[in-house]
Amino acid sequence: MARRTKIVVVGGGPAGIAVISGLRQWSSWDKVQITLLEPSDFHFYQSAWINSAFTMNKETPSTRHIGELFSPDDINWVNEAAGEFSPENNYVLTETGLRINYDYLVVACGLQTDWEKIKGLHGKLGREGITSVASYSTLNWTKSLFSQPSGKVIFTEPSTLCNMHSAGKELIMRLQAKLGVNIKEPTNEITYYSGSNALYPVEACQSVLKDRFKKNNIDWELSKELVEVKPKAKIAVFRNLINNTYFERDYDLLHIVPPMRSPFVVARSALADEVGLVDVDQHTLQHKKYSNIFAIGDIANTPVVKCISAIKMQMPVVVSNIVAGILGAQLLKKYDGTNNQVIMVSEHEAILFRCKFMRHMNLPFSYGLSDSQAIGRLNNLLSPISYWRYLLSAKSSRIPFPNS
């Protein structure tokens, strides 16, 4: 029997599962042996967590067991995290020391939340008016807080790596729309504090968001990062990143988009760039030094807004180029930086962004507001059903496989 090409995929999130599904579409699928390294038993559809804050449904279809996503006869699932990369020797060590050799490696482990960077927060999510849709365990608490918000409401976003640039804005605008009142009344204040120096990473998109915030009387502060909470007193402590001073704000509801970082196993490896992300060519998604290593999604250092749409566009590139490598062909497929963002601002309105890398593409209907039924249908495409059936299965993607 001919030797099968060993492909190791690190991470069972949307990027990793989509790559595996894409490889399974190759007509010579039987030529590869895929191993998935994923320590969690469950796969989470995190975009559904945003909707859960506003829906009355008791359950949110946002989790599935990893084993339900593929046949165990096709994929070797190692229920562990990567502990060390050895790109010079083509193997990965798991955290327990298991050695897994590979011919090709796909790093798709995403970012990790870093709650510990916020002093006083440990054990307080879901209590004292503090919540976050980035925390699965507090989704019901978030829904409860968002059902009858009053007083001073604060939303925060970190200065660190982040894959929730859109989520926080969507939450604050949908909450404001739900209130249906003038939030400038003395008893109702909503403010958005961001550690970043921009409201959105793409300038043209930032202008649209600023106009929308102004229209809805939502205040925002930039370069102001949440560094501490005092839950009993309901006080949030911020650091002004421009002059390095600190100030306090009291709140009744505090929603936190947490600081994020690259997993230590990646950041401390030979694969990483200076900020800890996998250092890849932004078009081929191939590592700049190790030609048999690719990265996809949030963990890749491609200059794009980190989102599900980017993963969908990157997956055919990674899969096609791996197959090209197996066949000894030239890498032909290139990622053009396309990613689309749909930010729901109410139940019937959305802001639409279409970007290539960090440039906004000024195409008809590429951004703006609409209350048409088309917006509702567009949002449905991002629903859990579409996520499970199409994105993860790669059925909605055309993969240009090289000829064997």
Beta-sheet pairing, 188-194 with 219-221: parallel
Alpha carbon distance 84, 337 (integer Å): 30
Q: Return the domain boundaries, the chain.
A: 5-111+262-391, 114-259
Best CATH choice for the domain 5-111+262-391 from the list 3.40.190.10, 3.50.50.60, 3.30.70.20, 2.60.40.10: 3.50.50.60
What are the φ/ψ torsions at residue 380 (nearest 5 degrees)?
Answer: -65, -30
The residue whose two tokens read 């991002």 is 382
What are the φ/ψ torsions at residue 332 (nearest 5 degrees)?
Answer: -110, -30
- Whether 5-111+262-391 and 114-259 share one fold: the answer is yes
Alpha carbon distance 161, 177 (integer Å): 29
Alpha carbon distance 108, 357 (integer Å): 19
Alpha carbon distance 173, 208 (integer Å): 13
Q: Specify the CATH architecture of the domain 114-259.
A: 3-Layer(bba) Sandwich (3.50)
Tokens of 213: 């915030």
Which contiguous run of DSSP H or E holds residue 29?
A: none
Alpha carbon distance 159, 177 (integer Å): 27
Tokens of 280: 């890849």
Per-residue pLDDT of the chain (404 residues; tens, 9 = 90+): 578 999 999 999 999 999 999 999 998 988 999 999 999 999 988 888 887 777 655 455 678 899 888 877 789 999 999 999 999 999 999 999 999 999 999 999 999 999 999 999 999 998 899 999 998 888 888 888 888 777 899 999 999 999 998 889 999 998 888 776 444 444 578 999 999 999 998 888 888 899 889 988 899 999 999 999 999 999 999 999 999 999 999 999 999 999 999 999 999 999 999 999 999 999 999 999 999 999 999 999 999 989 888 999 999 999 999 999 999 988 778 999 988 888 888 777 788 888 888 777 654 343 444 455 555 455 555 566 677 777 777 666 778 888 75
Chain centroid, CA 253 distance in Å: 24
Q: Identify the sign of the CA torsion 376, 377, 378, 379.
A: positive
Alpha carbon distance 125, 215 (integer Å): 31
pTM attached to this predicted model: 0.91
CB atoms within 10 A of CB 338: 16
